[in-house]
Every structure is written in structure tokens, then in C-alpha cells.
């Protein structure tokens, strides 16, 4: 299959129509999940004219006069007295403003005269009343479907009494490592072995993307064994991620095994650096990615292709934060025929510095990086000071 551009690969992936269903959970269990319904307010907010300070509720036209104190209104109590001429009530922050009053003067701005009387000792600045319905009207939309739920959204759900919330189900994602050289991280590798770092990296990336990962272990470079793991994973998941085994080596069986399992390929080579052998296909039961075995390639291709798809599978528009910042130094590359993704650090002066990076197996480069910048096909140099777009990672 021919190599395609990153833009075409991205478009192909994002055209996948698979969407997860929805489920209904308590609002307290919705953090980082994707909202799958519109939420409206069940009441005006504030629900009554509310004092925003501790002070005295009175009439603006009486501010030059001695004012008689009628009662004290704590938050949570309803006023019992109408405020007439030259009258006031002591009121606490959050308490309802009594009828007849049109402002609340702050305690600090008043003087206690004889018992039961006060005088305003400042100049009028503002009413200090939050008017009924000024923030939100009953029936008004407060949270839109498709947003990733943050703590402040949970506060809004609480305020409007929306305690049972419909969210998108997490996509179930299988992770399979491929390679006879791999051992699990708690073992000491033999002479020709290395530890499997991609599986746990991917599981964490899946979790961060809001999906639910399941690890299926290491498939040796053996067709039958790889096929049996893939055939188990496909029906149990919405997406299957394999790492390794997609290059051109004699033992890179993943593409042929996927084909035997009934996967229809859309691309098997992308003009990106790193991550050229990234493979994408569909099975009737799930979406399949073959990611390169190199840990940096696997990480970056997950962020650039898999994560956006997971997002739209959950009904969340993919709008990554891209921050424009100047390069802190010149960056140059030798070949320009692929889109390059470059891990970068953000310096204290908010300039962008590529992290030192010896190739796609240089796993310790990524923890140094704050983000990724992309360098399009044909572009050879980023000049010092040139503004680049940083995607935080
Ligand atoms: P492959 O894509 O199978 O040709 O692997 C490319 C390189 O990535 C090889 O050096 C592999 O040893 C390495 N590699 C493959 N899978 C993993 C993994 N799960 N964890 C760490 N390195 C890996
Ligand atoms: Mg391999």
C-alpha cells in the first residue's frame, strides 16, 4: 500500500463513524468524562435578590439620614420586615434583600449611633445586590453536550440539581505488544531482550484520553500466537492497538495477521517522522491501529491520530490546545519529505527548545518534553524567533 500524507491519514481516521453509546451516572462520577446531554437550569440564579456583602439593606434616598435597624437577616432566612423611609435591616452575605430596600451598604461604611440606629459614613458606590436571575434564567442552557467535564462543570450540575447525568461510554481499547525480544518490566531482560515500555505508556495515554484500556500481553513474533490474541481482543473492544511488528522485517507479522483476522486496511505507511509504519484499519467489530514499536513513535502517533479519534468516538469535538510561541533556537533537519513531530521544552522565557533526541527509540527524551511541534513536508528550518504552535503533551 502506498504511503499517504499525515493530513490524509488524519482525515481518514477522523471519518470513522464509530461512536460509543451513553450511560447515566451520578454527577459526582463524571470528572473527565464527556457530557452526552444538554443541561439547563431548573431555577433562576440567584433565586432571589441576594445581598453580596455583610451590611445594612436600606434605600439609596435615605443614605444621608439616621437609619433605624428593624431586624437581622442571616443567610438562609427570609426577611419579615418591609424597609420604609429611614429604616434598614442588618443583613448577611447571601441573605435575601428585604422588600423596600434598593441597596446594601457595607458594615465597614457605617457608624453605630445610639442603640438600634446607624449612619452611612462613606460615599455611595454600588448597590451590592445580586438580582434574581441575573446569572442564569430558569430553563437556560448551562452545559453543552460534547464537553469534557471539569470540576467547575460539576459545580454547575450541583447548582441546578442535575444529579443524574448522561455521559458517553468510554471506548474500550485493547493493547497488545508484539515482539519476541520483549519482557515485562518487573523482569530482568536477557542478553537480547528489552523491557516492554509501550504497553504501560499506551495504557496511561488511553486513560488520559478518557478511554478504558485492557492489556492483552506480549505476542511473540509468531503468526499463530499473534492471531489468537488479536482474535480474542477484537470482539471484546471498540479499538485494538498493537505496537511493534508493523515494520518491514522478516518477523513483522502484524499486517498479515490483521488481514487474516478480517481487518480492512486504510493505510499502512504515513509520511511522518517518527512513526512511518503506522497502520490503520477497520474490522466490523472494532477500529484497529498498528503502531510502530519504537516507544517515541508509538507515543507520538497515539497523540496525533489515536487520541483525536477516541475523542470523537465519545462525541467530543477534537480541539487540542495549541499555543503559539517563538523558537528559542534555530532548528534544522536534513530531509523534508515527511511531516516531522518534534518533542519540545518550553523555556522560562516562554521560548520553544527542541529536546535532544537521538531517534525514535530514545525513550528518556519524552519526559523532558512539554509539547510537540509539527514541521510540514517541505519545511527544512525553523529560525530562532519563528512562531511555532506547541501542542502540550
Ligand atoms: P518493530 O516495530 O517491531 O520493528 O520494533 C521497533 C523497535 O521498537 C525495536 O527496537 C523494538 O525492540 C522496539 N519495541 C517494540 N515493541 C516495544 C515495546 N513494547 N516496548 C519497547 N520497545 C519496543
Ligand atoms: Mg518487532
Question: What is the rounded CA–CA span in Å between residue 389 and residue 393?
Answer: 13
Tell how far the Cα of 172 is from the centroid of ligand 1, in angstroms: 24
* Domain boundaries, given as residue ranges, for the chain: 4-20+170-313, 22-41+141-168, 50-130, 323-392
The single residue listed with the C-alpha cell 490503520 is 280
Q: Which three cell numbers stand for residue 7?
A: 493530513
Taking the centre of ligand 2 as the mean of its atom positions, its distance from the CA of residue 252, in whole angstroms, is: 6
Residue-wise pLDDT tens digits, 175-198: 999 999 999 999 999 999 999 999
219 lines ligand 1 (CB under 6 A): no
Average pLDDT for residues 142-152, to the nearest whole number?
Answer: 97
For ligand 1, say whether the CB of 274 is within 6 Å of any of its atoms: no
- Best residue among 244, 257, 275, 298 to mutate for probing ligand 1's pocket (most ligand atoms within 8 Å of CB) is 244
Residue 279: CB within 6 Å of ligand 1?
no
In the reported structure, the alpha carbon of residue 295 is separated from the centroid of ligand 1 by a whole-number distance in angstroms of: 7
Question: Taking all residues of the chain, what is their mean pLDDT, rounded to a whole number?
Answer: 96
Looking at residue 360, its pLDDT comes to 66
CATH number 2.40.100.20 is the correct assignment for the domain at 323-392:
no
pTM greater than the 0.85 cutoff: yes
Give the atom of ligand 1 at the shortest distance from the alpha carbon of 218.
19
Query: Which protein residue's CA is at the shortest distance from atom 6 of ligand 1?
Result: 293
Residues with Cβ within 8 Å of residue 344, at least 6 apart in sequence: 352, 353, 354, 355, 369, 370, 371, 372, 373, 388, 390
Q: What is the mean pLDDT of residues 196-220?
A: 97
What pLDDT sits at residue 202? Answer: 98
pLDDT at 7 over 90: yes
CB 70 within 8 A of CB 87: yes
What spacing in Å lies between the alpha carbon of 384 and ligand 1's midpoint? 34
**363 Cβ below 6 A of ligand 1:** no
Domain covering 4-20+170-313 in this structure, CATH number: 3.40.980.10
Nearest residue by C-alpha to atom 15 in ligand 1: 293
d(CA 371, CA 322): 9
Closest-CA residue to 318 (of 303, 340, 301, 296): 303
Q: What is the pLDDT of residues 329-382, one digit of tens each?
A: 999 999 999 999 999 999 999 999 999 877 766 778 899 999 999 999 999 999
Any ligand 1 atom below 6 A from CB of 200: no
**CATH code of the domain made up of 50-130:** 2.170.190.11
220, 243, 277: which to mutate for ligand 1, most atoms within 8 A of CB?
Answer: 243
Q: Which pLDDT score, from 0 to 100, does residue 252 have?
A: 83
Cα–Cα distance for residue pair 59/86, rounded to 1 Å: 8
pLDDT tens digits along 86-98: 999 999 999 999 9
Check whether 272 has a pLDDT greater than 70: yes
Classified as helix, coil or strand, 176 is strand
Mutation to probe ligand 1, out of 177, 179, 204, 278 (largest number of atoms < 8 A from CB)? 179
With a 6 Å cutoff on the Cβ, whether 40 touches ligand 1 is: no
Task: For residue 33, give the C-alpha cell.
Answer: 468524562
Is the distance from the beta carbon of residue 343 to the nearest atom of ligand 1 less than 6 Å?
Answer: no
What whole-number percentage of the chain has pLDDT above 90?
93
Alpha helices in the chain (DSSP H): 6-14, 151-159, 198-208, 223-236, 254-260, 295-301, 307-313
Q: What pLDDT score was predicted for residue 264?
A: 96
pLDDT in tens, 47-57: 999 999 999 99
Copy the grid coordinates of residue 239. Answer: 479499538
* Ligand 1 binding pocket mutation candidate from 180, 278, 294, 296 (most atoms within 8 A of CB): 294
Task: Indicate whether 11 pLDDT > 80.
Answer: yes
pLDDT at 103: 98
Instruction: Considering every ligand atom shown, identify the ligand nearest to the alpha carbon of residue 290 and give its number.
Output: 1
pLDDT > 90? residue 222: yes
Rounded to the nearest angstrom, the gap between the alpha carbon of residue 191 and the centroid of all alpha carbons in its chain is 41
Share of the chain above pLDDT 70, in %: 99
Does 226 contact ligand 1 (Cβ within 6 A)? no
Atom of ligand 1 nearest to the CA of 199: 19
Q: Which CATH superfamily does the domain covering 22-41+141-168 fall into?
A: Molybdopterin biosynthesis moea protein, domain 2 (3.90.105.10)
- The per-residue pLDDT for 358 is 78
Q: For residues 174 and 127, give the distance between their C-alpha atoms in angstroms, rounded to a whole number.
A: 59
Going from the Cα of 3 to the center of ligand 1, the distance in angstroms, rounded, reads 21
pLDDT of res. 249: 83
Predicted confidence (pLDDT) per residue in 276-327, tens digit: 999 999 999 899 999 999 999 999 999 999 999 999 999 999 999 999 999 9
Amino acid at each position: 500500500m502506498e504511503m499517504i500524507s499525515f493530513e490524509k491519514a488524519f482525515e481518514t481516521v477522523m471519518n470513522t463513524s464509530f461512536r460509543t453509546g451513553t450511560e447515566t451516572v451520578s454527577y459526582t462520577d463524571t470528572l473527565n468524562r464527556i457530557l452526552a446531554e444538554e443541561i439547563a437550569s431548573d431555577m433562576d440564579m440567584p433565586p432571589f435578590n441576594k445581598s453580596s456583602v455583610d451590611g445594612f439593606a436600606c434605600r439609596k434616598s435615605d443614605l444621608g439620614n439616621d437609619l433605624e435597624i428593624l431586624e437581622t437577616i442571616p443567610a438562609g432566612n427570609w426577611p419579615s420586615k418591609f424597609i420604609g423611609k429611614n429604616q434598614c435591616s442588618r443583613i448577611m452575605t447571601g441573605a435575601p434583600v428585604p422588600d423596600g430596600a434598593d441597596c446594601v451598604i457595607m458594615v465597614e461604611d457605617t457608624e453605630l449611633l445610639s442603640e438600634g440606629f446607624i449612619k452611612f459614613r462613606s460615599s455611595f458606590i454600588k448597590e451590592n445586590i445580586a438580582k434574581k436571575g441575573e446569572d442564569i434564567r430558569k430553563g437556560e442552557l448551562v452545559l453543552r453536550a460534547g464537553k469534557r467535564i471539569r470540576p467547575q462543570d460539576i459545580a454547575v450540575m450541583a447548582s441546578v440539581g442535575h444529579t443524574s447525568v448522561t455521559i458517553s461510554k468510554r471506548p474500550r481499547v485493547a493493547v497488545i505488544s508484539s515482539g519476541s525480544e520483549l519482557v515485562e518490566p518487573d523482569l530482568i531482560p536477557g542478553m537480547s531482550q528489552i523491557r516492554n515500555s509501550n504497553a504501560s505508556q499506551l495504557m496511561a495515554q488511553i486513560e488520559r484520553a478518557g478511554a478504558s484500556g485492557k492489556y492483552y500481553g506480549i505476542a511473540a513474533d509468531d503468526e499463530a500466537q499473534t492471531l489468537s490474541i488479536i482474535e480474542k481482543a477484537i470482539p471484546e473492544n471498540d479499538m485494538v492497538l498493537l505496537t511493534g511488528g508493523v515494520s518491514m522485517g522478516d518477523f513483522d507479522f502484524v499486517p498479515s495477521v490483521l488481514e487474516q483476522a478480517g481487518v480492512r486496511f486504510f493505510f499502512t505507511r504515513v509520511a511522518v517522522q517518527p512513526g512511518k509504519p503506522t497502520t490503520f484499519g477497520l474490522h466490523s467489530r472494532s477500529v484497529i491501529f498498528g503502531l510502530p514499536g519504537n516507544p517515541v513513535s508509538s507515543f507520538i502517533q497515539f497523540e496525533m491520530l489515536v487520541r483525536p479519534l477516541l475523542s470523537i468516538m465519545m462525541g467530543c469535538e477534537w480541539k487540542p490546545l495549541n499555543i503559539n510561541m517563538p523558537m528559542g533556537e534555530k532548528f534544522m533537519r536534513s530531509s523534508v519529505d515527511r511531516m516531522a513531530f518534534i518533542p519540545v521544552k518550553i523555556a522560562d522565557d516562554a521560548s520553544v527548545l527542541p529536546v535532544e533526541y537521538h531517534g525514535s527509540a530514545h525513550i528518556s527524551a519524552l519526559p523532558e518534553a512539554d509539547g510537540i511541534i509539527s514541521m510540514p513536508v517541505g519545511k527544512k528550518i525553523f529560525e530562532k524567533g519563528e512562531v511555532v504552535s506547541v501542542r502540550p503533551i
